[in-house]
Structure 1
Amino acid sequence: MIPTKYSVHLYVAFFYMTHASFSPFLGFWFSEQGLSSRQIGLLFSIGPLVGLLVQPLWGIVCDRFGIERRVLAISLLAAPLLAFGYVLADGVFALFILTAVVYAVFYSSLMPITDAITVSHAREHGQSYGGIRFLGSLSFALLITPFGLLYDRFGIDTMFVMQLIAMLAAALMLLQVKRPSVSLRRPGRMFSGLGQLLRQPSFGWFLLFVFVVSIGNHFYNVFFSVFIGRQGGQAAEQIGWLNSISALSELPFFLLSGLLIRRWGYYPILCATALAGALRWWSLSLEPTFAVLMTSQLLHGMTFALFMAAGINYAFERSPEGMKNTGQTVFALVYMNLANIVASNGGGWLLDQYGFPVLYRTGALLALSGAAGFVLLALHVRRRG
């Protein structure tokens, strides 16, 4: 029996194993099926688009009825089974679209509810979100390269089976997680807290600048494996190594995120991570060698881990009591959904028209704009006291 204090730690480690098995390789798999950049972008945008509709419902239902673990368990079982629709589609693009829709209905619940449970558990037990999330990055880093080697050996289609096995394991670990005792929900009117949250001007501007910065992040998430695949060689293995380095770079930032946020505050941290993103995307626009690519992956710790940790904690603190799941869901809608939709479709068009250099230069300019926005927001909040 796992001690309650560490039950979420183990679940998070297994949960991010599911990501290592599937998500980094999906764009490459689509490319191997002969899809164009626009088609790949469209498929990647369907999940976030569906999430715009269903994620608020998942969050509100969990807030109202307190069934976070039940929703996670159902989604962990349903999502990997539905993903086999891509294989069964046999290259028919309409069936790819249908699979992307039904897969997203369940997959979209996983991240925001897991984050809400993790933040609540950390605060209940005097821990930090970053310290728990550290284990997720460590799990991802240790497993993604073996997954890549496995897929090079037995074929990229193996990733569908491995995702199913990984999600079943995560569902078993979820059984050890107890219901959060730090309030995530409030009885009564379900939408009142959401309206209260969105009426905060600083929170609205925060979401806007998160959106701008995140477009560049999703240019990377959606098209990076396609970029590596077009370089030739053992693509799955290279994807594994590059993602392993990026995941390892997250570890110190997740461990120290709480300390850094307390020391410097949210806005300086968010500005610094946006500037790191601008540097990273600009370096990719130069079409660097594989060695330079590996070096640039070290910036992932700032552009993803520290950025996400600051954003999640900011959203948690600014959310009304009893609406913590909904607050996390709103942040996820902007960071993971709206920005992803724009990046997937706009990025696919940019890539087909102008190539990878213009794609990543655009991401760099957007990151610079977001950094400037966080500076202005910090000055505005300071003037208002």
Structure 2
Amino acid sequence: MSAALPYWRLSGFYFFYFSLLGGTAPFLALYFDHLGFAPARIGELVAIPMLMRCIAPNIWGWLGDYSGHRLAIVRFGAVATLLCFSAIVFDKSYAWLALVMALHAFFWHAVLPQFEVITLAHLREHTARYSQIRLWGSIGFIVAVVGLGQLFEWVSLDAYPWTLMLIMAGIAASSFWVPNAQPQNHPHLVADGGFIAQLRRPGIAAFYLCVCLMQLSNGPYYTFLSLHLENQGYGRGVIGVMWALGVLAEIVLFIFMARLLVRFSLRKVLLASFLITAVRWLLLGNFADHLWLLLLAQLMHAATFGSFHAAAIHFVQRSFADRQQGQGQSLYAATAGVGGALGALYAGYSWNTLGAAWTFSLASLAVLVAAVIIATRLQEDRP
């Protein structure tokens, strides 16, 4: 790493940001279940932040590219997220919770796409090392899922909102520690015709469609895995460890990701990620009661998120000019939000009617479609 690179400041932000994801992904559905909501209502409440992810990143991304004040947007979004989510302590009705989910997510989803641009701007020509910074987000996720898993073995889930507010305060504080940076222009990219014209280039739209399908397939995992494992007889502490194991595999992948991107094309990395993910959902839906198969499925998270996300960030970064970087990363977040919201909704409605096995099988089918699209539409070249 370059001596000028603010490695720990960037890493610290990722640590807190993904600690929040570690606090929501495994436990948000459990909290809503604790409040007495039915699976369909849980799916709707979990889908709301993902729906906001379809809208908010594009608004903030355009503003970031237009103004160039990306770090100011990150800081404002972090503080506003904390303030909006704090309203959860006043009421627990469905309508109020839906409002809180929408408001805080609108600002939360302003943060990461802009911060990704800042990180890549700091890395400059060393973008393959992005994973070495991003892995601290995975470490934060592990700390959150293991720590909160143990905490909720000892105390009631009534304490859940306060733990999230503490993490959000960490995100806001760390955002003021990070120095600003502006992306460099790519000499081989010409922004003629604007952002929409860039989307018409070969393979770009297909890539974003596959991002949507990947996140749709994650719907049952992020919405109901914890409840699914509870129904299989696992305790909340064990469930936290299972979530952590998946992210630990992701960290190992991030350590070696720079070498993989040198050796393999982005197309091959993405294709392998989709195929492994398809197998993973079948294992979780049908064999989660077998501990060794559950462990194997969680290790596959290295592909489901790790290699997929790292390759996707590189694909977006190399595909857009400097004044379009924020919009490119924001569209990545937005299409992921569309897929995640659709995945949470279909999982919520199918969980009781079709059951866990069929719900995860539909997820596997979605990601297999994405694999076919990547294999046939994305160009074979190296990052």
Same fold (TM over 0.5): yes
Aligned to 1:8: 10
For 1:139 and 1:100, how far apart are their aligned partners in 2? 22
Which AA in structure 2 matches 1:174? S
Amino acid corresponding to residue 159 of structure 2 in structure 1: T
Q: Provide closer, same or farther for how the CA distance between residues 125 and 229 of structure 1 changes in structure 2, counting only shifts above 3 A.
A: same
Contact between 2:39 and 2:348, CA under 8 Å: does it hold in 1?
yes
* 1:213-232 matched pairs, under 5 angstroms: 213-232=214-233
Uncovered stretches (5+) of structure 1, i.e. residues with no partner:
none
CA distance in 1, matches of 2:136, 2:380: 35
Q: Does 1:270 align with 2:270?
A: yes
Counterparts of 2:140 and 2:302, CA distance in 1:
15
2:183 corresponds to: 182
Task: Map Cα deviations across residues 308-339 of structure 1 (whole Å, 9 max, x no partner).
Answer: 1111110111012311111001111112x110
| Structure 1 equivalent of residue 47 of structure 2 | 45
Q: Letter of the 2:34 partner, please give it.
A: E
Residue pairs, 1:26-37, within 5 angstroms = 26-37=28-39
State the match for 1:342 in structure 2: 342
Change (3 A) 1:181 1:16: same
Shift of 1:240: 1.2
Instruction: Return the alpha-carbon distance in structure 1 between the equivalents of residues 32 and 295 of structure 2.
Output: 23
Aligned position for 1:65: 67
| Residues 39 and 351, structure 2, Cα contact 8 Å, conserved in 1 | yes
> How far apart in 2 are the matches of 1:297 and 1:99?
31
Question: C-alpha distance in 2, partners of 1:192/1:332?
Answer: 23
Query: 1:134 corresponds to which residue?
Result: 135
Task: Tell me if structure 1 keeps the 8 A contact 2:19–2:143.
Answer: no
Aligned to 1:199: 200
- In 2, Cα distance between equivalents of 1:46 and 1:142: 25
For the pair 1:110 / 2:104, whether they are aligned, the reply is no
For normalisation by structure 1, the TM-score amounts to: 0.89
Correspondence 1:89-128 to 2 at 5 A: 89-90=91-92, 92-123=93-124, 128=129
Count how many residue pairs are aligned between Structure 1 and Structure 2.
373
8 A Cα contact 2:34 2:157, kept in partner = no
Aligned to 1:160: 161
Which residue is equivalent to 1:279?
279
Q: Distance in 2 between matches of 1:28 and 1:274?
A: 28
- Tell me whether 1:260 sits opposite 2:260 in the alignment: yes
Q: Secondary structure at the match of 1:13?
A: helix
Within the alignment, does 1:372 sit opposite 2:381 as a pair? no
Q: 1:184 to 1:116 in 2, by over 3 A?
A: farther
The whole-number CA distance in structure 2 between the counterparts of 1:210 and 1:299 is 18
The structure-2 alpha-carbon separation of the partners of 1:229 and 1:3, relative to structure 1 and needing over 3 Å to count, comes to farther
Q: 3-state SS of the aligned residue for 1:157? A: helix
The aligned amino acid for 1:69 is L
CA apart distance, 1:201: 3.2
**Distance in 1 of aligned mates of 2:113 and 2:289:** 36
State the superposition RMSD in angstroms: 2.4
TM-score, normalised via structure 2 length: 0.90
| 1:103–1:230 Cα change, 3 Å | farther
For each residue in 1:341-379, what CA deviation from the matched residue of structure 2 results, as whole angstroms up to 9, or x when unmatched?
21111121211211111000111122222112211124x
Q: Secondary structure at the residue paired with 1:286?
A: helix
State the match for 2:317 in structure 1: 316
How many Å apart are 1:269 and its aligned residue? 0.7
Offset of residue 290 of structure 1: 5.7
- Structure 2: any 5+ residue segments left out of the alignment? none
Secondary structure of the 1:289 match is: coil
